Amino acid sequence: MMYLLAFSIFYILPQKHNCVRKLILDATYMEHILLAGDYPNLTHLELFNFKEEIVCYFTDKSQFQHIFQYQITDLILHNNDQNRVGTSLKIYNRNIYAHIIDLFQNLQHLRIITSSSVDEYPPLFLSWLPSTTYFTSTLTTLCINVFSFDDCVSLLDGRLKQLTTFNVQFYAIFTYMLIPNNI
């Protein structure tokens, strides 16, 4: 039964790839599905079971680089990675979040979500991202977990001028920085 379903999907997709605007799929099958067509009208991508290994597709060397860099405007990641501490969290931020932020240049809506608690997937630490990392100027919606209130304030420092919807959950509420009056 599963074989027939997979066969029918890979038979239909090459014929209808021009009509596809949105893909909602398990990240495990992303490569196979994206290889089934060109998808010139694909703008929305929602990935379930997103894990650290999937980020290898979110690089300049990826065969899907053109789709991610220039076409995708809406990205929803259902993150299944477990929260980390210390150095591994720093590496996660550089290897995962930095790649996503840098590659998706036309991104308007970014949501990284989990099915349960705020600390289930690794939070964004802005201070641990490379200094060359910048958010696209087209981003209007951002829904994400951050580590601290400082990371939230840093996101609102003017780099996201087009932002109209900001949905954030904190891992910790403490702050080490002074909050400027213009936020």
Residue 79, strand partner residues = 50
Instruction: Examine the pLDDT at 130 and tell me if it is beyond 80.
Output: no
Q: What is the DSSP letter of 145?
A: E
- Express each pLDDT in 164-173 by its tens digit: 998 988 777 7
pLDDT tens-place string over residues 93-123: 778 887 888 889 999 999 988 755 545 667 7
* CA distance readout (Å), 172 to 72, 111, 121, 146, 151: 31, 20, 14, 8, 10
pLDDT band of 26, cuts 50, 70, 90:
very high
Lowest mean pLDDT segment, chosen from 20-29, 33-42, 78-87: 78-87
Q: Which domains does the chain have, with CATH numbers?
A: 19-170 (3.80.10)
Q: Which two tokens stand for residue 93?
A: 């931020």
Task: For the chain, give the number of residues.
Answer: 183
Nearest to 96 by CA among 53, 147, 127: 53
Predicted pLDDT at 154: 77
The CB-side HSE value for 173 (13 A sphere, CA atoms) comes to 0
Give the side-chain half-sphere CA count within 13 A for 117.
5
Reduced to 3 states, what is the DSSP secondary structure of residue 1?
Answer: coil
The pLDDT-based confidence of 70 (bands split at 50, 70, 90) is: very high
Global pTM reads 0.82
pLDDT at position 133: 64
Q: Which helix (H) or strand (E) holds 11?
A: helix 2-16
Q: What is the mean pLDDT of the segment spanning 140-166? A: 83
